[in-house]
Amino acid sequence: MGQSPWRLALRRLRRDRIALAFGALFVVLALLALAAPLWADVAGRGPNATNETGTIDVGGEQVDVVSLDGVPIGPQWRGEYFLGADANGRDVMVRLLYGARNSLLIGIAAALLTTLLATLVGLLAGFYGRWVDAVARSALDVIWAFPVVLLGVALGTALALGGLTVGPIDLAAGSIAISIAVIAVVYVPYMARPIRGEVLALRERDFVAAARAQGASATRTMAGELLPNLAPTIVVLAPLMVANAILLEAALSFLGVGVVPPDPSWGNMIDAGVERLVTAPHLAIAPGLMLVLSVLALNVFGDGVRDALDRRGGAAWEAERP
């Protein structure tokens, strides 16, 4: 049995320790997000439970969770208020983990949706060409003309009050489905363009001509010949798309058109924390670090995947050239 191109890529990826380490880091962060309810049990309060007047025991002394002049308590490094409290006396660690759920869920779901849409658009436009391509390309160009954050903000603002109805699906205002849809649409051109370009190049390859000469239908040619060869591009782009989507979600929440408070997301936690950097720096630093770590993990891992699949993967087939 021969070695499939995928297996070759996997072998190269396995040698890239740094990429693997950061991939594992992202998995750990995702597992932490999943374990949020467990930590809430440990901490003894949910993500939105306020405690503006309570006190806790610090080294035998009872201390206000939120002091009289509104300064929340800092990290305690134990179950309760592990990372301190916010201005409403909520447990920052619990909110951080629940925020991770929102941030990662929106990021991953949006990136999956983007990948799906972009692959479909890129594949159909590239394969059929002519008017299909012309229509798809102008649609992508128009979306492309808007700066990412601005388009996200525009859609977010427009949908913030009434929500959106797409056919039978009703996306209520303020639900994370809105964020997912907005982010997914914004990034479609960024992924559909390279995929379309790839399809255009693949379409000219002789093995596609051979399949058609054998009588393969359009669907079969796309599914059997084009898609497997697009897969590396998609696999390379997907982690980067998740990273971008997480960043954009944070930006939208920061600006107030993402996850609606009191529900936590890293973006709205940073937004709230920035105002209190002087008295309670942990409020902005903790969610910021989580955001940076998860995005960095995806980017470094994605870079390793690209190295394993893309260049040298191509070189493997070219290796016979003198």
Partner 1 sequence: MTRFVAGRLGQMVVVLFAVSVLTFLIFNVIPNGDPASRMAGKSPTETQVEAIRAEWGFDEPLPVQYLRTMEQVLGGQAISYFTQLNVRDEILRGLPRTLALAVGAAILWMAFGIALGLLGALRAGRLSDRLLTFAALAGVSLPVFWLGAILSHFLGYEWGLFPNGGYVPFAEDPLDWAYHLVLPCATLAVLFTGFYSRLVRSNVLDTMGEDFVRTARAKGLSERRVLLAHVLRNSLIPVVTLWGLDFGAVVAGGAILTETVFDIQGVGQYAAESVGQLDVPPVLAVTLFGAFFIVVLNTAVDIAYALLDPRIRVGER
Partner 2 sequence: MSGPLLEVRDLAVRFAAEEGPPVEAVRGISLEVAPGEVLALVGESGCGKSVTALALTGLLGGGAARVAGSARLAGRELIGAGDDELRAIRGAEVAMVFQDPLSSLNPVLRVGDQIAEQIRAHGPAGREEARARAAELLDQVGVTPGAERARAYPHELSGGMRQRAMIAMALSCSPRLLIADEPTTALDATVQAQVLALIGELRDATGAGVLLITHDFGVVAELADRVAVMRAGRIVEQGGVEEVFDRPADGYTRRLLAAVPRADAPPRAPLEAREPLLELEGLAVAYGGGRGRIARRAARRAVDGVDLTVAAGETVALVGESGSGKSSLARAAARLIDPAAGRVLLGGSDFTRAGRRALAPLRRDLQLVFQDPQGSLNPRRRVGASVALGLRLRGAGRAEADRRARALLERVGLEPAHADRWPHELSGGQRQRVGIARALAPEPRLVVLDEPLSALDVTVRAQILELLDDLQRERGLAYLLISHDLAVVRQVAHRVAVMRDGRIVEQGPAVEVLAAPADPFTAELLAAVPVAHPRDRATPTA
243 binds, among partner 2, partner 1, none (CB under 5 to 8 A by kind): partner 1
**Complex with partner 2: residue 108 or 227, whichever CB lies closer:** 227
Scanning 55-63, 78-86, 104-112, 249-257 for contacts with partner 1 by CB under 8 A, the matching segment is 249-257
- 3-state DSSP call for residue 61? strand
Q: Which residues of 49-81 are buried (b: 16+ CB within 10 A; e: fewer)?
A: bbbeeeebeeeeeeebbbeeeeebbbebeeebb
Nearest residue (CB) to partner 2, 72 versus 126? 126
Q: Are 192 and 117 in contact (CB under 8 A)?
A: yes
Q: How many CB atoms lie within 10 A of CB 156?
A: 22
Q: Where are the beta strands (DSSP E) in the chain?
A: 55-58, 61-64, 164-166, 169-171
Nearer to partner 1, 262 or 281 (CB): 281
Bridge partners of 257, per DSSP, are none
- Residue 155 touching partner 1 (CB under 8 A): yes
Return the residue of 25, 32, 185, 216 that touches partner 2, per CB under 8 A: 216
| Nearest-approach distance from CB 234 to partner 2, in angstroms | 12
**Where does 163-281 have alpha helices with state H?**
176-203, 206-213, 218-220, 227-255, 266-274
Residues at the contact surface with partner 2, assessed by CB under 8 A: 1-5, 205-207, 209-216, 220, 224-225, 228-229, 231, 312, 316-317, 319-322
Residues at the contact surface with partner 1, assessed by CB under 8 A: 18, 138, 141-143, 145-151, 153-165, 173, 243, 247, 250-251, 254-257, 270, 274, 277-278, 281, 284-285, 288, 291-292, 295-296, 299-300, 303
